[in-house]
Homo-oligomer: A and B are copies of this chain.
Amino acid sequence: MDELKARILSEGKVLPGNIIKVGSFLNHRVDTALLGRMAEEFAKHFDISKITEILTIEASGIALASVCSYLWGIPLVFAKKAKSDNIENGLLCSEIYSYTYKKTVTVMVESEFIKPEDHILIMDDFLANGEAIRGLTDIVREAGATLEGIGIAIEKGFQGGGDKFRKAGIDIYSLAVIDSADDCKIVFRD
């Protein structure tokens, strides 16, 4: 998606450890008009009419998934991290390693919110090593639902997470794939 790539080049910052910061428009301050245009791009790739539910994970994926959910008229479920007081029994769970927080966290969805008959589109703002998304695919499998695909705004291709899903035959579509960010220079995959 050319507009997204242009925003990454003009506003993104590469921090040590090849962390790519796009907090000015995607995951801290959020340009929701851009998210609306991203929804149009995803709808060109995925057959939205087949999707019964969008699944994302807190926190920053919620913004993109909410705008897509609103525009497509499809409900959204967001997986939660760690256990809080207001989550009851009956959970679909997966353990993932968070490189951001350097610890293992449990991602969970209450089992009543994903049914075996659901057709799920997983969405997130970022994909790097793919741990968070792998956790969400575990949850879809545990629920017995059908995974229709994975929609990502920005994929850090050089961390390999996206290609793992591609090799597994999953329909993953990223609006911008960054293949390297060495020396603070961002290079996109064609």
Contact = CB atoms under 8 A, between A and B. Distances in A.
Interface string A65-88: 011011001011110100011111
A73 B32 CA distance: 8
Provide the main secondary structure of the chain A interface.
mixed
Given A19-B85, A23-B113, A62 B66 contact: yes
A136 to B, nearest CB: 14
A182 interface: no
Oligomer: number of copies: 2
A59 B73 CA distance: 21
Contact of A80 (B24, B59, B87, B113): B59
A58 to B, nearest CB: 4
A172 interface: no
Interface string A157-176: 00000000000000000000
Nearest to A70: B32
A100 B85 contact: yes
B84 A29 contact: no
A73 B33 CA distance: 7
A28 interface: yes
B86 A19 contact: yes
A63 interface: yes
Report the 10 A-B pairs with minimum CB-CB distance, sorted nearest first.
A58-B59, A32-B70, A59-B59, A66-B66, A62-B62, A32-B69, A29-B113, A63-B66, A30-B76, A29-B77
18 contacts: A15-B86, A17-B85, A19-B85, A23-B86, A24-B112, A28-B80, A28-B109, A28-B113, A30-B66, A30-B75, A30-B77, A30-B78, A32-B75, A32-B76, A33-B70, A35-B66, A58-B62, A60-B78
